[in-house]
Amino acid sequence: MQKSLSLVISLLFGTVSAFCQINPANIQIARDVWGVPHIFAPTDAEVAYGLAWANAEDDFGSIQEQLLASQSKLAQVKGKSAAVLDVIAHLIGLRELIDTAYHAKTFSPDFQRVMQGYLAGINAYARQNPDKVWLKDSFPISEKDLLRSYVLGFALFTGMPNELSKILDGRIQKDESKVGTGSNAIAVSRRRTTDQKTYLAINSHQPLEGPFAWYEVHLHSEEGWNVLGGTLPGFLAIGHGVNENLGWAHTVNHPDFTDVYRLEMNPKEKLQYKLDGRWETLQQRTLKLKVKIGFLKLSKKFTFYWSKYGATVKKDGKFYALRFPANLQIQAAEQQYRMNKARNWAEFQQALAMQKLPCFNIVYADRADNIYYLSNGLLPYRNPQYDWRKVLAGNTSATLWEPKYHKISELPQVLNPASGYVFNSNNTPYNATAPADNIRAQDYDPTMGFITFDNNRSLRMQELFSKYDKISYEDFKTIKYDLTYPSKMYYYFAQNLEDVFHLNEAQYPDIQELIQMVKTWNRRCDAQSPEAGVFMLCANFLTIKLRQEQRDVYGNLLTEAEIVEAMRLTKSHLQKYFKTLKVPLGELQKHIRGKKSLPMPGGFDTIAAMQSRPDQNGRFKTYQGESYISLVKFSEQGVELETINAYGASANPDSPHYTDQMEYYTQQKTKKMTLNKVEVLQNAQKIYSPK
C-alpha cells in the first residue's frame, strides 16, 4: 500500500511520468563561468527535465508568470496590472481550445516524451521548493497547462491584443500600425565574406526582463539534440539559436494575423446573431477573476462571448468578433523542437513544412552556405472579394475562413540570392536583400496583408550593405551594432520625424541651441553624445503625445508646432534635472539592475535598438531592445559563436550572474560560447544533477 501511494505521489508531482521514466542522476547541468547552463543527458526527455530545472533555478518567477496568466490566475499574485493577461487568456478560449484539440495522438511519441520530461522537471522543482511557488494550487502542471502557455504567448506575438484594444477603445477601424520597435536578423553567404565563412546574426529586441525575455541555455543529448540559443521561460525547446550544422533567427512579422467582424444582432432576441440568413446564439463565457489588492483578493466578474467566428466582445451595444489562427492550433512547441534537431537544410525545410508556428520571420544559415529568409505564418485562404484590412461583415460564411493556410511555398521568401545576404528588421518582406534580388508584393496573395513599408533599421541596413563589396567579420559586427539613423529617417507613426533636423532656429530663439545641436548631430546614438540625448527626449515627448491622442498609427504626420513643443519640453527637462542642455545620452539613458547602473547607447529604431522609460531624477531606464544576441560563423570545419544577454544568466538578485554580463552588453562586447561537450565540461565552474 505504501509503495502504491508513493508511486501515485511521484506521478502527480513529476519525479517520474506515466510515459517517461526520468532518473535525475543521468542529467548533468554544467554551469560555465557566466552561469549559463549546459544540459547533458542520454535522452531528449532527460535534457528537457534538466532545462526545466535549470530555468526554474534561474527564473522560476517568470515561468510562473506565463503559466498563471494562461490559467487566468496571474492577477491573484500580481494585482490589477496583470488582470489584462488573465482576461485575454479567458477571452480567446484557451481552456476550451486545449480541451478540444489535445488528445493522445496530437503529438508524435518522441515529442510527447520530451513534454513529459519537461513537466517532470518543473513539477519536481516546485515540489522541492514549495516556498517559491506563488499559488499553492498552481502545481503540478499538466500537458494542457503547458500548451495553454504556448498558445497565449503566440497570440500575443501575433498582435491580437492590439485589435482587441482598438475595439475597446472605440478605434474599430483596422490600420497598418502593426510594427514593433525592434529585432534584426542577418545572414551573409561566404561568397560575400572575406574569410569564406557564412555569418548569422540572431538579434531579437525583446523585453529585457520577465516572461518574454530570452533565457540562454545549451541542450545536448545523445539522441542528436545539441543546440544553444534563447528560449522563453516555461518553453521546452530553443526558440532561436544554433546547432552544429545550422542556425536561425526570429523577428516579429506583420501580415494580417487577426480579422475583426461586426455581428448582425437580432433586435428581438438577446444574444442572437445572423449568419447566412439564420439566427445563431452566442455562447456566454463568464470569468470570475480574483485580483490581489494589497493583502486582499477581490473578485470581479467578466462576461465575454463566443461566436462561430471566435472570441466576441461587446462595445457600445455592438458585438465584435476576432478570428486569428494563433488560437486554433496547439503544436508550435513540437515544430520548434524539430527545428532544433534539424541537421541540414532539407530537414529544416521539413520542420517548416509542419506549419504549426503561427508567426515570425525566419532568417537561416548553415554550414553548407545556404542562407534563407521567410516571412512565416499561419495565413488563411481568404475570399478576395472582401477588403480584409477593414472590419468585416459578421453575417456571412463568405468571411468565415476555414483553418486552411497558405503553404510555405506561397509565403514571401528569398533563398540564396546573388547578392549574398538576407535580413529582416520587422520591415516589409519585400525588402529582404539587395534591390535587384528582392521579391515583389504583386507576386503574393494580397489578402495575406503583409506590410509594404520599411523602417529606419531596414533603410540603414541597406545603406550599410551597399558600402561593402566583401564583408569581413568585423564589418559584419559593425553592421549589427550600428547606432546611426539613416540619411533620411522614416518612422512608422511619425513619418516626417525627419523634420526635426530642419527647423529654422531663427524662428525659435528660445530653443535655438537645441535646434543647432540636432542639425549638427551625426545621427549616431553613442552614449557620449549630448545631441543623441536631445533627440531621444524630443522623440520621447512626441511619442507620448501621439499615444495619448491615439495617433500612433501608420501614416501620421507631425506638425511643426508639435515638434517645436517637444523641443521646448526637452529643454525644460534638461534644465530642471541637469542644469545644462548638453547631457550625454549615457547620462540620460541607464541600464540598471539592482545596484548596478551603466550608461547605455542606442536609440529607438536604430539597428542596435534601445527603448527606455522614465526612471528617477530625470533619467530613463532601459526596458526593451537589444536583448539576447548571438553572432555565428559557419564553415565546413564547424561553427563558431559568441553571445551576450542583457543582464546575466540568473534573475536571482543573490546570484553572481544577476548582473555579470551588463558591462559587456553596454559596451557592445560578447562572450565566446561552444557546443562542444568536452570543452564545456573541462571549463565548467559547477557540475551537478537535479535533485
* Strand 421-424 with 686-688, pairing: unpaired
Specify whether 264 is located in the same domain as 250: no
**Does residue 11 register a pLDDT over 70?**
no
Residue 160: its pLDDT value, please?
A: 87
**Does residue 289 register a pLDDT over 70?**
yes
Tens digits of residue pLDDT in 376-407: 999 999 999 999 999 999 999 999 999 999 99
Res. 16 pLDDT band, cuts 50 70 90: very low
- Give a yes or no: residue 160 inside a domain: yes
Specify whether 151 is located in the same domain as 198: no
Specify whether 473 is located in the same domain as 558: no
How big is the chain by its Cα radius of gyration, in Å? Answer: 25
Q: Give the residue-averaged pLDDT of 539-545.
A: 92
Q: Which of 424, 447, 480 is the last residue of a domain?
A: 480
CA distance linking residue 457 with residue 467, whole number of Å: 16
Tens digits of residue pLDDT in 112-146: 999 999 999 999 999 999 999 999 999 999 999 99
CA distance linking residue 387 with residue 380, whole number of Å: 14
Residue 494: its pLDDT value, please?
A: 83
The answer to whether 226 touches 345, Cβ cutoff 8 Å, is no
Residue 553: its pLDDT value, please?
A: 75
Residue 171: its pLDDT value, please?
A: 66
CA distance linking residue 114 with residue 47, whole number of Å: 8
221: amino acid identity, one letter: S
312: amino acid identity, one letter: T
Cα separation values, 214 from 149, 204, 625, Å:
16, 9, 12
- Give a yes or no: residue 648 inside a domain: no
Specify whether 64 is located in the same domain as 146: yes
Domain containing residue 285: CATH number: 2.30.120.10
CA distance linking residue 246 with residue 229, whole number of Å: 12
Specify whether 351 is located in the same domain as 492: no
Cβ-based neighbours of 542, under 8 Å, separated by 6 or more: 494, 497, 558, 562, 563, 566
List residues bridging with 430 in a β-sheet: none
CA distance linking residue 272 with residue 497, whole number of Å: 48
How open is the CA angle 226-231-235, to the nearest 5 degrees?
100
Tens digits of residue pLDDT in 218-252: 999 999 999 999 999 999 999 999 999 999 999 99
Res. 8 pLDDT band, cuts 50 70 90: very low
- Give a yes or no: residue 391 inside a domain: no
**Helix runs in 527-591, H state only:** 530-548, 560-578, 585-588
Residue 181: its pLDDT value, please?
A: 53
Cβ-based neighbours of 531, under 8 Å, separated by 6 or more: 517, 518, 520, 521, 522
Res. 5 pLDDT band, cuts 50 70 90: very low
The three grid cell numbers given for residue 179, joined into one nine-digit string? 510594427
- Give a yes or no: residue 395 inside a domain: no
The SS3 assignment for 263 reads strand
Q: Which of 437, 464, 480 is the last residue of a domain?
A: 480
- Give a yes or no: residue 394 inside a domain: no
**Does residue 2 register a pLDDT over 50?**
no
Specify whether 539 is located in the same domain as 421: no
Specify whether 197 is located in the same domain as 312: no
- Give a yes or no: residue 50 inside a domain: yes
Specify whether 30 is located in the same domain as 120: yes
Q: Which of 446, 480, 514 is the last residue of a domain?
A: 480
Cβ-based neighbours of 616, under 8 Å, separated by 6 or more: none
Residue 15: its pLDDT value, please?
A: 37
- Give a yes or no: residue 451 inside a domain: yes
Domain containing residue 104: CATH number: 1.10.439.10
Tens digits of residue pLDDT in 335-365: 999 999 999 999 999 999 999 999 999 999 9
Tens digits of residue pLDDT in 162-207: 888 888 776 665 544 444 457 999 999 999 999 999 999 999 999 9
**Does residue 62 register a pLDDT over 90?**
yes
Q: Give the residue-averaged pLDDT of 415-442.
A: 98
In the sheet with 226-231, reading across from the earlier edge strand, the strands are 413-415, 371-375, 361-366, 246-251, 240-243, 226-231, 215-221, 37-41, 28-31, 686-688
State the helix-helix crossing angle for 143-157 and 44-70, rounded to 10 degrees: 70
Residue 4: its pLDDT value, please?
A: 40
Half-sphere exposure of 435 (CA within 13 A, CB side): 4
**Furthest CA-CA distance within the chain:** 91
Specify whether 250 is located in the same domain as 264: no
**Does residue 13 register a pLDDT over 50?**
no
The three grid cell numbers given for residue 388, joined into one nine-digit string? 480584409
Residue 116: its pLDDT value, please?
A: 97
Specify whether 412 is located in the same domain as 504: no
The answer to whether 571 touches 564, Cβ cutoff 8 Å, is no
Domain containing residue 454: CATH number: 3.60.20.10
Res. 20 pLDDT band, cuts 50 70 90: low
**Does residue 1 register a pLDDT over 80?**
no
- Give a yes or no: residue 659 inside a domain: no
Looking at the 3D structure of the chain, how many domains does it have?
4
Q: pTM for this one?
A: 0.94
Residue 180: its pLDDT value, please?
A: 45
**Does residue 328 register a pLDDT over 80?**
yes
In the sheet with 318-323, reading across from the earlier edge strand, the strands are 283-293, 296-307, 310-315, 318-323, 259-263, 392-394
**Does residue 296 register a pLDDT over 70?**
yes
Specify whether 519 is located in the same domain as 475: no
Specify whether 268 is located in the same domain as 284: yes
Domain of 55, in residue numbers: 2-170+677-688
Res. 22 pLDDT band, cuts 50 70 90: very high
